[in-house]
């Protein structure tokens, strides 16, 4: 059926805002509760209320210095709980997020057919919906000293979930046909709106690629167009406020694998949603943690892998904004979970 290539089923959970299910998801922070014993009590009570408490979790998943997760499963009740400890600062797990969902709440979004190169990197992905209709296809190419893939082909229908499912181990989508190469084949820039690149915006800016002393990509600077400068409102002084329309900086481990990405885009021409954020990677260069600004607070994303695979097996995204507040926690936070299972 799949011509000998790999295939994954895509399962998705979205939290319900029904009154009876709002407390399936709770969130606590230091500014709500800074007592560690009280936090432990909140978690224990939460698990007991869902009949998921065990003295020892079924598994503990470590995300380096940025998060760890306690995992609880109950096959008879067909339920799963995740207790996620995380923070933007290394080894500072001052946020605790709890989610419990029924396996019956997982909805099949479709499936992906894909193939990898000898390094385990995807060379193409084709997305089908649950009825077997093709929704998108995308192809990738890789270059030395660039810590991300280049998209060489991309076709899709109007499906809002594509960005969450395809190229899911990358935040930014870089298109080869918009990239500028010098005579040696080295990428020196890109004509694109990188912040909104997955939406294929019609607006283009020049993005300058800068390299460090080891010839690794160090920074991308998105420059204002001359037209933008001319039509910028009088109340914005570019010389005072900002040097570039956007900046993306890259940091590396000693093994030259990507360690961190920090980005910032100017609010006026990019909007405030996802205008700044940070991304953290494990020592294999796999994206494991992302945090980004939105107008009403912040979103957090966590990516879990199986073995040495470069394809996330589970992707969480949740919002700091809650439906309601108790004395020491909030609940009903907007949440998405994508789970990818081999077919």
The more confident residue out of 159 and 15 is 15
Q: Is 210 left (phi over 0), alpha (psi -120 to 50) or beta?
A: beta
Q: Where are the domains of the chain?
A: 1-169+297-343, 178-285
Residue by residue, DSSP assigns 281-301 as E-TTS-EEEEEEEETTEEEEE
Asked if 329 and 32 touch (Cβ cutoff 8 Å), the reply is yes
Average pLDDT over residues 300-307: 96
The predicted pLDDT at position 200 comes to 42
Q: How many other CB atoms are found less than 10 A from the CB of residue 108?
A: 12
Q: Select from 44, 104, 27, 92 the least CA-distant residue to 64.
A: 92
pLDDT tens digit sequence for 60-72? 999 988 999 999 9
How far is residue 184's CA from residue 265's CA, in Å, rounded to a whole number?
30
How far is residue 51's CA from residue 79's CA, in Å, rounded to a whole number?
10
> Would you give the DSSP letter of residue 177?
G
How far is residue 181's CA from residue 174's CA, in Å, rounded to a whole number?
13
**Which of 194-198, 235-239, 285-289, 334-338 is the least confident region?**
194-198
pLDDT above 80 for 204: no
pLDDT above 50 for 202: no
Q: Select from 96, 175, 128, 95 the least CA-distant residue to 2.
A: 128
Strands of the sheet containing 59-63, edge to edge, are 59-63, 67-74, 79-86, 95-102, 25-28, 330-331, 324-325
Domain 178-285 top-level CATH class: mainly beta
pLDDT above 80 for 299: yes
Average pLDDT over residues 293-315: 94
pLDDT tens digit sequence for 151-198? 999 998 866 678 889 999 999 999 999 999 999 999 999 987 777 654
Which value, in Å, is the radius of gyration of the alpha carbons in the chain? 21
Q: Select from 39, 92, 50 the least CA-distant residue to 72.
A: 50
Q: How confident is the model at residue 323 (pLDDT cuts 50, 70, 90)?
A: confident
């Amino acid at each position: 059926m799949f011509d000998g290539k790999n295939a994954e089923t895509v399962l998705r959970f979205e939290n319900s805002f029904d009154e009876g299910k709002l407390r399936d998801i709770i969130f606590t922070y230091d500014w709500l509760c800074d007592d560690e014993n009280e936090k432990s009590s909140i978690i224990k009570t939460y698990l007991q209320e869902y009949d998921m408490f065990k003295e020892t979790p079924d598994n503990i998943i470590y995300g380096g210095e940025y998060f760890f997760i306690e995992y609880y499963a109950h096959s008879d009740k067909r339920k799963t709980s995740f207790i996620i400890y995380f923070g933007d600062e290394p080894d500072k797990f001052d946020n605790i997020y709890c989610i419990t969902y029924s396996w019956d709440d997982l909805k099949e979004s479709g499936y992906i057919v894909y193939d990898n190169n000898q390094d385990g990197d995807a060379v193409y992905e084709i997305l089908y919906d649950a009825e077997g209709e093709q929704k998108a296809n995308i192809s990738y190419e890789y270059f030395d000293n660039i810590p991300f893939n280049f998209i060489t082909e991309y076709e899709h229908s109007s499906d809002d979930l594509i960005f969450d499912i395809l190229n899911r181990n990358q935040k930014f989508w870089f298109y080869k046909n918009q990239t500028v190469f010098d005579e040696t084949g080295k990428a020196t820039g890109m004509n694109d709106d990188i912040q909104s690149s997955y939406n294929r915006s019609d607006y283009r800016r020049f993005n300058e690629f800068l390299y460090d002393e080891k010839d690794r990509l160090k920074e991308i600077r998105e420059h204002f167009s001359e037209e933008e400068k001319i039509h910028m409102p009088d109340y914005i002084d570019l010389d005072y406020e900002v040097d570039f329309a956007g900046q993306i900086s890259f940091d590396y481990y000693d093994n030259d694998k990507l360690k961190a990405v920090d980005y910032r885009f100017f609010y006026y021409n990019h909007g405030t949603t996802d205008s700044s954020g940070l991304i953290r990677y494990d020592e294999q260069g796999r994206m494991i943690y992302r945090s980004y600004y939105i107008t009403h607070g912040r979103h957090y994303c966590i990516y879990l892998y199986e073995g040495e695979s470069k394809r996330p097996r589970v992707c969480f995204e949740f919002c700091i904004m809650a439906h309601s507040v108790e004395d020491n926690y909030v609940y009903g936070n907007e949440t998405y979970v994508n789970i990818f299972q081999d077919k």
